[in-house]
Amino acid sequence: MRVEKRSVGDLAVFGGEPAFAEPLHVGYPHVGDRRRLLERLDGILDSRRLTNRGPLVRDFERRIAEYAGVRHCIAMCNATVALEIVTRALGMRGEVIVPAMTFVATAHALQWQRITPVFCDVDPRTHTIDPACAEALVTPRTTGIVGVHLWGQACDVEGMQAVARRHGLRLVFDAAHAFGCTRRGIPVGGFGDAEVFSFHATKVLNAFEGGAVLTNDDGLAEKVRLMQNFGFAGEDRVVHEGTNGKMSEMSAAMGLTSLESFDRFVEGNRRRYRAYRERLRSVPGIRFLEHPRDERGNYHYIVVEVSGDRYGLERDELLCVLRAENIRARRYFYPGVHRMEPYRSYFPHAHLLLPRTERLVRRVLVLPNGATVDEAAISRIAEVFHLAHRHAEAVRNRLRGSPRTLAATTASGATSHVSTTH
């Protein structure tokens, strides 16, 4: 156990020993019962049924559909391809409205098909797409909306449905963050024309890599199934354009094993969320994203907003302090999808319509979560928050005068992005 940090000089940005010997990550993968997983993998190898909708993928699809209370689940290789296929199956083209406050894949899935993503602002409290902003962006070229259930909170589903209905638009929800969550007590999965889950390693329920399209529309489900398997309707009968979006049996084995431990994952997440809140309660300028008490959440993302005025340091300065301690917090989804290529070149003025997103991407910090973050770790993280706040001015002077600049901190963050998290 490392020594407690008592004075500002104990902070790693001043040369103190980092609070953690090993980095603590956002999106540290949950692993369920290893023996069950290995049994399943043995079964796959014995049967030689490795992919092409084998028994494990079928079982996984059935259980996910059941869990979400939706008629159809089509398991996919990942959520990005799932989004590409389902938006294409729904005939989206021209312009499609998406929030700018999301992981870049939401927009890329459209751009990849030469559909223009039109970036929409969000509700400043929930960070999810604002129906009024979306409606203001509808043009004669608009064919659909892809809403995002950010941080495991369903967006304003009813509001989005009303906009879609009024303008005759298709509506898909990117539910990559929201497996196991509810909206007004109804599980995410069955809203809109379709919803898409991600089972990427960093998500709350993982299949190594994986995704799924969920829908109650029989025709759409059939079309998506054809499109994910090259359009094959029989052994040598191709009846539709298609691609390869299939999930492998190995991924399904991991998905099924994860599902068996899902309640335990969420319970751990909730415990950590509460511990963070408790220990950071008295720090000025750190506001937690609220989880509505009457909804089921998965507590996978521990999201705070940093108010520089009240905390004493800007979000990026605090990030620097944390990174030096091996607390690898992330500033999702900085700088906003509209400021990433190719979108920033295509729409250099997009930010003018996105004042809330612009403000959020400068304030949001996502804190480490997962099995390596125990209560003691959360206490030490909180200690760092408290110390840096109490000595904000000294910390700021130190950061400004030190070669360990923010640029360096975030550049090294980009490396971890590749290896462990989105």
* Contacting positions for ligand PLP (CB under 6 A): 78-80, 102-103, 105-106, 148, 174, 176-177, 198, 200, 211, 422
Greatest Cα pair distance, the chain, in angstroms, is 72
Which residue, 80 or 369, is less far from ligand PLP as judged by CB?
A: 80
Report the C-alpha gap between 162 and 140 in whole angstroms.
18
Which residue, 78 or 215, is less far from ligand PLP as judged by CB?
A: 78
**Helix-helix angle 79-89:218-228, to 10 degrees:** 120
Which residue, 83 or 384, is less far from ligand PLP as judged by CB?
A: 83
Minimum CB separation from ligand PLP for residue 130, in Å?
A: 17
Minimum CB separation from ligand PLP for residue 148, in Å?
A: 5
| Total residues belonging to the chain | 422
Q: Is 306 helix (H, G, I), strand (E, B) or coil?
A: strand
Amino acid (one-letter) located at 47: S
| Cβ atoms within 10 Å, residue 278 | 13
Which residue, 147 or 187, is less far from ligand PLP as judged by CB?
A: 147
Minimum CB separation from ligand PLP for residue 335, in Å?
A: 16
Minimum CB separation from ligand PLP for residue 200, in Å?
A: 4
Decide the pairing of beta strands 170-174 and 142-148. parallel
As a dihedral over the C-alpha atoms of residue 353, residue 332, residue 106, residue 268, rounded to 10 degrees, the angle is -140
Minimum CB separation from ligand PLP for residue 347, in Å?
A: 20
Which residue, 81 or 275, is less far from ligand PLP as judged by CB?
A: 81
**Helix-helix angle 392-401:375-390, to 10 degrees:** 90
Measured between alpha carbons, how far apart are the two ends of the chain, in Å? 30
Which residue, 198 or 257, is less far from ligand PLP as judged by CB?
A: 198
Report the C-alpha gap between 339 and 100 in whole angstroms.
9
Minimum CB separation from ligand PLP for residue 298, in Å?
A: 13
Which residue, 175 or 387, is less far from ligand PLP as judged by CB?
A: 175
Q: Alpha helix locations (H) across 229-261?
A: 249-260
* 129 phi-psi bin (left φ>0, alpha ψ -120 to 50, beta other): beta
> Contact 149/300 with Cβ under 8 angstroms?
no
Minimum CB separation from ligand PLP for residue 282, in Å?
A: 31
